[in-house]
């Protein structure tokens, strides 16, 4: 099945399910990041690095931990639904692959010349594709390392594989840093190119029906 082969009315660029999962993920990430900063501050990883109370969810570590556990279910269930949907419908493959090195170079050149507006919203540029893949992998890694930190005895094999308990804490922290970096760039770009933001709210343009190919071309 492909993203635009629904055999009926042309589908939107971002079907309702994708939009709901995207915005649910944004809320879940907000809860996870800000409550994570609340837990971190009780047991710092980088000496001297603290997060101000104003950006923490929860007045101290225990309420922050409760928020983190609540947000975890939303993040994991919603993320799993997004992945399954993306794999089963072929959306992930069609939107995020292939990535050609020539396209990467062209996108970097365009960005350096501040040409970030893309005329065709239905095609992600190569850098967008890489960033989305990186953040999806980082999200999966956060759920796995979070599980290992929560249940280090039950997942002792996994903890050992990733270098021990402190190493897993570091990996969880680095994953958060990657996601925060992504979100900053992602939100700034969606404000600079508001058509993309409107598309993620309204569904965006309808996709052209797939071209009918002769049977001998369908191998």
Helix crossing, 126-150 with 101-112: angle to 10°? 100
- Angle among Cα 204, 181, 32 to the nearest 5 degrees reads 85
Q: Select from 11, 12, 22, 169 the one that contacts ligand HEM (CB under 6 A).
A: 22
What tokens were used for 178? 């990657």
Contacting range for ligand HEM; rule: CB under 6 A; set: 51-59, 154-162, 178-186, 211-219:
178-186
Q: Which residues of 102-115 are buried (b: 16+ CB within 10 A; e: fewer)?
A: eeeeebeeeeeeee
Contacting range for ligand HEM; rule: CB under 6 A; set: 38-46, 142-150, 170-178, 197-205:
197-205
Q: How far apart are CA 20 and CA 94, in angstroms?
A: 20
Q: Select from 132, 165, 170, 173 the one that contacts ligand HEM (CB under 6 A).
A: 132
CA 38 from centroid of its chain's CA atoms: 22
Shortest Cβ distance from residue 28 to ligand HEM (Å)?
8
Helix crossing, 165-192 with 126-150: angle to 10°? 150
Contact call for residue 199 and ligand HEM (CB under 6 A): yes
Pick between residue 166 and residue 202 the one whose CB is nearest to ligand HEM: 202
Pick between residue 159 and residue 179 the one whose CB is nearest to ligand HEM: 179
Contact call for residue 125 and ligand HEM (CB under 6 A): no
Phi, psi angles (nearest 5°) of residue 8:
-135, -135
Please, are residues 182 and 134 in contact by the beta-carbon 8 Å criterion?
A: yes
Contact call for residue 185 and ligand HEM (CB under 6 A): no
Site string for ligand HEM, 85-104 (x = CB under 6 A): ----------x---------
Contact call for residue 33 and ligand HEM (CB under 6 A): no
CA nearest to 95, candidates 118, 130, 124, 120: 124
Residues within the interface to ligand HEM (CB under 6 A): 18, 22, 25-26, 29, 95, 121, 132, 135-136, 139, 179, 183, 186-187, 190, 196-197, 199-200
């Amino acid at each position: 099945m492909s993203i635009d082969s629904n055999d009926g009315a042309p589908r939107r660029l971002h079907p309702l399910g994708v939009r709901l999962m995207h915005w649910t993920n944004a809320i879940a990430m907000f809860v996870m990041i800000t409550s994570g900063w609340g837990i971190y501050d009780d047991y710092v990883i980088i000496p001297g690095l603290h997060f101000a109370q104003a950006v923490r969810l929860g007045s101290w570590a225990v309420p922050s931990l409760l928020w983190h556990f609540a947000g975890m279910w939303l993040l994991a269930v919603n993320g799993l639904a997004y992945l399954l949907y993306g794999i089963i419908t072929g959306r992930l493959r069609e939107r995020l692959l292939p990535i050609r090195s020539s396209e990467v170079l062209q996108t970097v050149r365009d960005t350096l010349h501040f040409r970030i507006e893309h005329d065709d919203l239905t095609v992600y540029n190569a850098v967008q594709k890489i960033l989305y893949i990186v953040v999806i992998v980082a999200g999966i890694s956060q759920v796995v390392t979070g599980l290992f930190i929560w249940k280090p005895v039950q997942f002792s094999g996994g903890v050992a594989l990733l270098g021990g308990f402190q190493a897993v804490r570091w990996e969880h922290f680095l994953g958060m840093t990657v996601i925060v970096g992504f979100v900053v760039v992602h939100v700034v770009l969606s404000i600079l190119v508001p058509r993309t933001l409107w598309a993620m709210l309204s569904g965006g343009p309808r996709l052209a029906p797939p071209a009918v190919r002769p049977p001998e071309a369908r191998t």
